[in-house]
Every structure is written in C-alpha cells, then in structure tokens.
Structure 1
Amino acid sequence: MRRFASIILRLVFIVFIGAAGFLLFESPATINVQNVPKVARSVIKKNVDKSGDTNLKGTLKLAKDFGVENKVLEQLPSKYHRDLSYVDLYNLSVSYQENGELTAKNLKLPEKNEVQKAVNYLILQRVNKGLSDNSKQVNNSINIFHYFLFGAILILALAALLVLFGQSWASIALLIAAVGSFGALQYYLNQLVQYLQSELDPGISLITSSMLWLGLAISVVVAIIWPLGLKLTKKKD
C-alpha cells in the first residue's frame, strides 16, 4: 500500500512538471503597440527622410497641411499586439531562416485595406533591411535559441524521468529548465522589442503573461516540495 502511494505521488509530481512545461513553452509574452498611427507616422517620416526625395517630402508636407495624413492613418487599427510563446518564436525564426525575411503573415499584421498594406510594406521593408544588414549576428542568435529550446525541453523531460525513479536531484534539473527557459524567453523577446523600438518607435513594449509566471511558480514549488515528499515516502518505506 505504501509503495502504491509512493508511485501515485511520483505520478502527481510528473503531471505538475508537465503542466509547468506546457505553460512555460506555450504561454506568450506580448509585444504591444498602443498607438499604431503614431508608429506609422514615424516610419513614413523615416523613410521619406532617408530617401532624400524633395518631391516626396513636399507631398508629405502638403498631406499634413491639408489634414489628409490624419484621414489616411485613421484607416489603421488604433492598437496592435503580437503574442509570442516559445513555440511561436521558434516558428517565426524558422520561417525567417527559410525565407530570409519576415512577412505580414509572420507578424500577423492586419491587411484589410490598401493603407494597411502600404504601411505594412514600409514597416517590413525597414525591419527586414535591418535584419539583413546584421544577418550573421541574427542567424547566430537564432541557432543559439534553437539549441537552448531543445536543451530546456530535454532537461525538463529528464526532471520528469528522475521523479519517476525517485531521485531527489530532479529538483535541480527542474529549476534549471524552468528558470532558464523563462529567463531566455524574456531575453530574446526583449532583444526583439529593443530592435523594433530602435527601427520603428520607442513606444513598443513587452508584457509577460500571467500564465508564464504561473508556469515558473509551479516549477519552483514542485522543486521545493519534491525532495520533502520523497523523504517522507522513503521513511514510510
């Protein structure tokens, strides 16, 4: 009976590890843009200034003077957000490596009218140009991210396996996988946000979902409780 209770306890802890892993790898952090027209205006201005075309600059000035610019930008959504979990970020990075660029579909940019399509084109042109100029560094970062992701999954699986065989140091593996994966996701997304802030607008922000924090919390609690539960069951045995 005691052995049966020990097995049940281990299975319960494995379920919690699985739940924590699911939350850590599937829950998103959100790239948030509170004022899309402001970002669009900034991107348009940067592109016009960079082009050096005096006729284009004159056209933009006329659009502002006659209030046409605001009317056009009103056709854009007021806000934009893109949820990115580990899985989403992995798929995004694979798509970038295969195609050499990001697309409106990758970033889930709305394309409901011609204005949105035109602004998306300018945004993507600017973002992809920056990525292309730093392609070696970008690809190295992506490769490191892929290795880390698979490593974290393997360590998490190892933690579950160690729990199954009643090893107390499963807690160490669980903490390494959970804290490491949580921290790495924050790091890579913050790097992405900082890049977008420099290329597009400093108002772009990152919001970490409560589900990600919950996944980290479950991992820490399980890592603390597991050795205690194991010790109690061994005493009973």
Structure 2
Amino acid sequence: MRTEFTGIPDVPAAPDVAVVVDVMRAFTVAAWAFWRGAERIVFAGTQREALDLKARHPGWLAFQDGAPVPGFDLANSPARLRSLDVRGRTVVQKTTAGTAGALAVADAGLLLCASFVVAGATAEVLRRARPERVTFVVTGDGGRAEEDLACAQYIADRVHTGDTDPAPYLERARRSEAAGRLCEGVRRGWAGVHPEDVAMCLKADTFPFAMAAARVDGHLELRPVDGGRPEPGGARATRPAG
C-alpha cells in the first residue's frame, strides 16, 4: 500500500481511498457520539447550513468547533458530549478542519474519517480493502498539524505491521501545538473547552469501529462500520447497552 500525506489545499478531488484525520477534536467527538448511540453524522460546509439542516429536521443536533454558538448543541468537546443524550439522533457537524477535509474529498471511492480512538479499526478496514494507494488528509494547520500527521502515520504503520505501538505517536500528539492550545484554553477558561478533552483525544484504539462517509440524499454522511470495505450508509457498529 502506497501512502500520501497531504493537507486540505493540496488534496486531489477524488482519490480512490482517502483517510481524513482530525484528532483534536472533530473525529474524536464523532467517534464518541457513535459510541454513545448517535445514528449518523451529516457534515455541513458552513454554520448557516448546519443550523438550516437542524431547523428542517426536528430532533437533529448540531455541533461546531470554537466557542459555543447560539443554536448549536455542542462546541465540539468530547468531554462535554457526555452531558448530551445523542442516542438514536442525527448529528450535523461543522468544523474548520475535519469536516472541511472530508467535504474536500467527498467523491473518494472509499472515504474514512479517523482519529486515535478509531485508528486500529481504521487500519483494519484498509487492510481488508487492500488499496494500492491511500491519501491521508492531515486537516489541521494546513497539513502541518503534528497530532493529525502522527495519527495518520500510526494508521499507515498499523496496516503494514498489525501491532504497532501507539505510544510514540501519542507522545508526538501530546506535544503538538493543538494540544497546547487546548490546554491554554482550559487555563484561560475558554468556553467550549473541557479539561479532559486532550486526554480523551489521546487514547488509541478505544473503539472497535471505523467511520466511513458517503453521499446520501445530497449530503456527506458519516456512519460507523465494523470492518471490510463499507457500503454507502454503512452498518452500525455494535456497542454495549447502557
């Protein structure tokens, strides 16, 4: 499997296989939302689109990054997600990095969204799909985000070896500028940031599912998949009750 690591501005429009990585915090939040019972996540390109989708679909929730915004239910914090009941719900997510990266490669033949918490399962999907080439989209800081690059390289190495130690990759992410900014946000009391966010983003292989995106009814929709090459609208991942 040949690998390419690129930022959003340089990504090809329709790679055969793309893995879009956002560790802090979009796709960590997405994975936790699925584990807590969310049905699907619909990506929006703008905050207005996200709020319009929520308004047209009673019962949908809307997440965004940055400080809390009126009308949104969550400011993209995995720790704060614990206080929100998402069971059986559709979530609309809009972020400046993760969802933007996914929308940039929406026409990929296979589109996976990843963070450390689903890295092992993502590697298993790739191992079973056996693609000739995989484009890893490093979404943060114009493709230079160390936490996203470390996660992407961990997934790629897991595909080849199956038992790569995540510790060195997690340490790189822990020392990243993004982790530092979140920690600084906690110290400054920024709204939308929780003291446990960084720790929750830096846990490897927490969940048994990967996350695959496909166009459904005109929108790019993310769902959890257990393994193999996912079909549009993928299968629900198994999770324990309670």
On whether the aligned pair clears a TM of 0.5, the verdict is: no
More helix per residue: 1 or 2?
Answer: 1
- RCO higher in structure (CA 8 A, sep ≥6): 1
Please classify the TM superposition score into its range, dividing by the shorter chain length. under 0.3
TM-score by length of 1: 0.25
Structure 2 length normalisation: TM-score?
A: 0.24
Greater share of residues in strand: 2
